[in-house]
Amino acid sequence: MSKGFFPKLALINIKKNKQSYLPYIISCICTVMMFYIMHSISRNKGLFEMYGGDYIVSILNMGAIIIAIFSIIFLFYTNSFLMKRRKKELGLYNILGLEKKHIGKMMLYETAIIAFASIAIGLLGGMLLYKFIFMLLLKIISFQIPLTFSVPASSVAFTILLFGAIFTLSLLFNLGQVHLANPVELLKGSNQGEKEPRVKWPLVLIGVVSLGAGYAIALFIESPLEALSSFFVAVICVMIGTYALFTAGSIALLKMLKKNKKYYYKINHFTSVSGMIYRMKQNAVGLSNICILCTAILIMLSTTISFYAGQENVLRTRYPQDIIIRYNNANDENIAKINELIDTFKENEEVSVSNAISYRHSTLLTSRDADSFATYEDTENSIYTSISESFLLTLIPLNDFNQMKGTSLTLDDGEVYIYSSKNIYEGSTITINGHAFNVKEASLSSDSDDTMSKTFAQGSYNIIVKDINILNQAAASAGFSYFIGFDVEGNQDTVIHLTDTLKSQLSENVPEAYLESLESERQSFLSLYGGLLFLGIFLGILFMLATTLIIYYKQVSEGYEDKERFEIMQKVGMSKNEVKKSIKSQIVMIFTLPLATAIIHIAFAFKIITKILAVLNLSDVPLFVICTIITIAVFSLIYGIVYSLTAKTYYKIVQ
Amino acid sequence: MAILQVNNLKKIYTTRFGGNQVQALTNVNFSVEEGEYVAIMGESGSGKTTLLNILASLDKPTGGQVLLNHKNIAEIKEKEISAFRRKNLGFVFQDFNLLDTFSLQDNIFLPLVLSGKSFDEMNTRLQPIARKLEIGDILNKFPYEVSGGQKQRAAAARALITHPKLVLADEPTGSLDSKSSGHLLRIFSDINTDGQTIVMVTHSTKAASHAKRVMFIKDGEVFHQLYKGTMTNEQMFQKISDTLSVLTTGGEVSE
């Protein structure tokens, strides 16, 4: 055979199969492009120099890893689908006299052409789009760094290596398929699977149980911290449940419908029920993939958008005041130094300071036994083992409390006031680390909105003790801390500048004190949440691409199978309209099933997600509701457009 | 009474860009009486399939009339044509055309379900037919599980269950081995004896020899007819063979 024969044959094959190969190549190009962009942005030096830039870089790195893993799964899946479709063609080549060795050679060239085209175009596109995407990222996180056009060699190398490996792997898989099969099997390849599926009851049971368990976890978890750890378990349960129910549950349901003679033997139900059994048999895994992808996209986008939109809220919850200084293991000498520095700061004419508060306190993480509270000995372990049974106690000397609140409460020796934000302390005595006190008054803090209460740890008991000595005794080894907080107004740049000066003075004089300023934290918040949003959108697009492609291939492959079926039905006396109606109802069902299931999943997950968001300081539930609804609406719209486009291809094939 | 009347039927195929015209049927005239068993024979390209498609209302004639039960098929509206086909015609195809997603029983029920019949009625109709076609014990099997002969008998049951005025069979024995062919043809003769009108298009001399009348089509026209009368199948077979050899050599035919 002449030298150029195999490359030519490979090229012709790709052209002839363009209905299935073109979408494959396009999605290869897109994944290459996305990986390259993600990777190269994370290598941008400008990002490192910005405040909070390291957040962005680590988010982008994570994104690149996710894209890489996803590309492997997704491209491999698509490839195996293409292979299934082409088995007949390859069998024919085999029968017409091409040896398996030759077919292998032909496939090698095909893969090489596709790989080269995808990687080359993908890289090129990535380089062109890089600037645009980078600008988008900067816009989202409001960074201002000069745009530079750079092509990081490491990104190019990584991209080529990764996708080269993926293509090699799929080629090996294809070669294995051809090698194992005999020509007759290859010829039959795309016609297998005509048997009516059996109902796998154990799988149905597993599906029901794990989906139920996943939903139950999501619904009945109350403690926010437990929510964080059980969320993952719930996700796994729901995923298993989705796969099991889509594969076995759907067939069980359809078979039950079929057994009901009155229901089954009706024009509309007859063809769709029996058709759906076969569709579900072939598509269940693909559909559950789509369902899980949809759920992931929707949750990812709605949470990142909520965070981005609600970041001011989060910022305020996290930083109740513009400038906060915390000084642990305090002593009076240093407190005096700090106060002195603050006074100098206040004297600046360019800024005005308000809402200043300061108090000494000791915050203890304790275990409770009736009215007795004791600090954990081994803090490391206890936090993780029994966080839900732990109590946070904040001890404050009466003097500091009165000063701040402008009250003139009095306490005798051995007496305490207890304020709490959630539950009133119910006992009449309290023992803290072995020191017993009488409770003079226990109440809910009526003014939980005031500045001071906000700075206290949430959901704990705030205990007012007579003086600092008693506090020190009760706190035992923990010692006491000093807290100063105040709001600053003035030109933003001046505020940041002065704050930075204060911070450096502070670290010179009292290195143990720690200053947090809202203005400078805002930027790192923005880069964290902006980065997450960017990642959310980016991965959203990638998942969407995958969903589209899976749906497209589903439609095409079904179109060919259904063509014959509907021709027969027409011959037997079904009108064109009835055929169309039947096709449409089945396709719509197949199509909406994953999206509807995804929305149900999200509805069940809603409670647990709001709890997790609360842990991350986003407590604005209405905002999250709105973001979720908008995300679902927009997503459904895009999904609908994808559907109508692919449905067109389907009808073209069937008719 | 003529159940099917074909007058001056003409069909011209035009290629897509209107270039070439192919005359498939030039001028076909014949009629089929109730209870008749007619075989239509002819070489490939003689227009048999075109004729059958027009009779089946799957294709429209260029000129002429097809009257089924005194009703002109060409004048039936597109909307009603499927229902008309379902009620009046039964089909048996060469490649069975059974749906692989249905069991044999559901395949047979398909036209009745489309007409909105209840399950009980379908079941009472099915029993005698299944017995006659000897498929009673395989009704719950799927097409891929049974032999070609069984498939074709199931397809015949599907054609008969609507009690059609006319059964149209297109090469019904074309995909069957000789034993299954014999079985199917015996069944066709039986149901014809019971009063079912059958029109069959075939290549097979053996199949045609079971019919009461054989029509030969050549170049889009009915060229010749043979009546079986009191002849046995073997005598009819001989007669058809002679006619076919004359047809292919192009000599004059004497009756």
Whole-prediction pTM: 0.71
What pLDDT, on the 0 to 100 scale, is given for residue A192? 45
What pLDDT, on the 0 to 100 scale, is given for residue A630? 93
Query: Once rounded to an integer, what is the mean pLDDT over residues A294-313?
Result: 86
> Which has the higher per-residue pLDDT, A453 or B49?
B49
What pLDDT, on the 0 to 100 scale, is given for residue B197? 93
Among A194, A265, A278, select the one facing B122 at the smallest CB separation.
A265
Cβ-Cβ contacts under 8 Å for A561 (sequence gap 6 or more): none
Query: Once rounded to an integer, what is the mean pLDDT over residues A319-325?
Result: 81
pLDDT class for A193, splitting at 50, 70, 90? very low
Query: Once rounded to an integer, what is the mean pLDDT over residues A527-547?
Result: 84
Distance between A281 CA and the closest CA of chain B, angstroms: 12
* CB contact (8 A) between residue A578 and residue B91: no
Residue A164 pLDDT greater than 90, yes or no: yes
**ipTM here:** 0.76
CA-wise closest residue to B181 among B156, B158, B163, B160: B156
What pLDDT, on the 0 to 100 scale, is given for residue A382? 47
Q: Report the number of secondary-structure helices (H) and strands (E) in chain B.
A: 8, 10
Q: List CB contacts (< 8 A) between B99 and chain A.
A: 274, 565, 568-569
B165 touches chain A (CB under 8 A): no
Angle value at C-alpha A128, between A127 and A129, nearest 5 degrees: 95
* CB contact (8 A) between residue A194 and residue B100: yes
Tokens of A579: 């055929």
Cβ-Cβ contacts under 8 Å for A176 (sequence gap 6 or more): none
* CB contact (8 A) between residue B79 and residue A565: no
Residue A494 pLDDT greater than 90, yes or no: no
Crossing angle for the helix pair B119-132 and B178-193, to the nearest 10 degrees: 120
List % helix, strand, coil for chain A (3-state, nearest 5): 70, 10, 15
* CB contact (8 A) between residue A578 and residue B85: no
Among B82, B91, B102, select the one facing A274 at the smallest CB separation.
B102
* CB contact (8 A) between residue A572 and residue B158: yes
Distances (CA, A) of A295 to A238, A251, A291, A543, A607: 11, 23, 6, 10, 15
> Which three-class secondary structure state does DSSP give residue B218?
strand
Tokens of A40: 């190269």
Backbone angles phi, psi at A353, to 5 degrees: -105, 140
pLDDT class for A194, splitting at 50, 70, 90? low
Question: How far is residue A410's CA from residue A417's CA, in Å, rounded to a whole number?
Answer: 10
B144 touches chain A (CB under 8 A): yes
Tell me the β-bridge partners of A489. Answer: A352
| Long-range CB contact pairs, A629-632, < 8 A, 24+ | A630/A305, A631/A298, A631/A301, A631/A302, A631/A305, A632/A298, A632/A302, A632/A599, A632/A602
> Which three-class secondary structure state does DSSP give residue B59?
coil
Cβ-Cβ contacts under 8 Å for A634 (sequence gap 6 or more): none
Nearest chain B residue to A268 by CA distance is B114
The highest-confidence range among A37-51, A206-220, A223-237, A460-474, by mean pLDDT, is A206-220
B97 touches chain A (CB under 8 A): yes
B151 touches chain A (CB under 8 A): no
CA-wise closest residue to A587 among A554, A543, A560, A548: A554
Question: What number of C-beta contacts closer than 8 Å exist between A and B?
Answer: 69
> Which three-class secondary structure state does DSSP give residue A45?
helix
Nearest chain B residue to A279 by CA distance is B101
Question: How far is residue A530's CA from residue A298's CA, in Å, rounded to a whole number?
Answer: 17
B79 touches chain A (CB under 8 A): yes
What pLDDT, on the 0 to 100 scale, is given for residue A119? 94
Among A267, A565, A576, select the one facing B113 at the smallest CB separation.
A267
Distance between B57 CA and the closest CA of chain A, angstroms: 10
B98 touches chain A (CB under 8 A): yes
Q: List CB contacts (< 8 A) between A575 and chain B.
A: 79, 81-83
Condensed to tens digits (0 to 9), the pLDDT of residues A10-23 reads 888 888 888 788 88
Among A278, A568, A573, select the one facing B86 at the smallest CB separation.
A573
Distance between B64 CA and the closest CA of chain A, angstroms: 23
* CB contact (8 A) between residue A571 and residue B144: no
Among A265, A275, A576, select the one facing B113 at the smallest CB separation.
A265
Q: Cβ(B160)–Cβ(B84) under 8 Å?
A: no
Backbone angles phi, psi at A555, to 5 degrees: -60, -45
Distance between B202 CA and the closest CA of chain A, angstroms: 19
For the CA atoms of A402, A404, A407, A411, the dihedral, rounded to the nearest 10 degrees, stands at -20
A101 touches chain B (CB under 8 A): no
Among A261, A277, A572, select the one facing B110 at the smallest CB separation.
A572
Residue A173 pLDDT greater than 60, yes or no: yes
Which residue bears the tokens 């039905």? A569
Question: How far is residue B126's CA from residue A438's CA, in Å, rounded to a whole number?
Answer: 91
Question: How far is residue A395's CA from residue A465's CA, in Å, rounded to a whole number?
Answer: 7
Angle value at C-alpha B41, between B35 and B43, nearest 5 degrees: 165
Low-confidence ranges of chain B (pLDDT < 50): 253-255
CB atoms within 10 A of CB A47: 24
Residue A549 pLDDT greater than 50, yes or no: yes
Distance between A20 CA and the closest CA of chain B, angstroms: 26
Nearest chain A residue to B145 by CA distance is A195
Residue A384 pLDDT greater than 50, yes or no: no
Nearest chain B residue to A261 by CA distance is B119
Nearest chain A residue to B59 by CA distance is A571
pLDDT class for A385, splitting at 50, 70, 90? very low
Distance between B104 CA and the closest CA of chain A, angstroms: 13
Among B91, B101, B119, select the one facing A261 at the smallest CB separation.
B119
What pLDDT, on the 0 to 100 scale, is given for residue A190? 46
> Which three-class secondary structure state does DSSP give residue A141?
coil
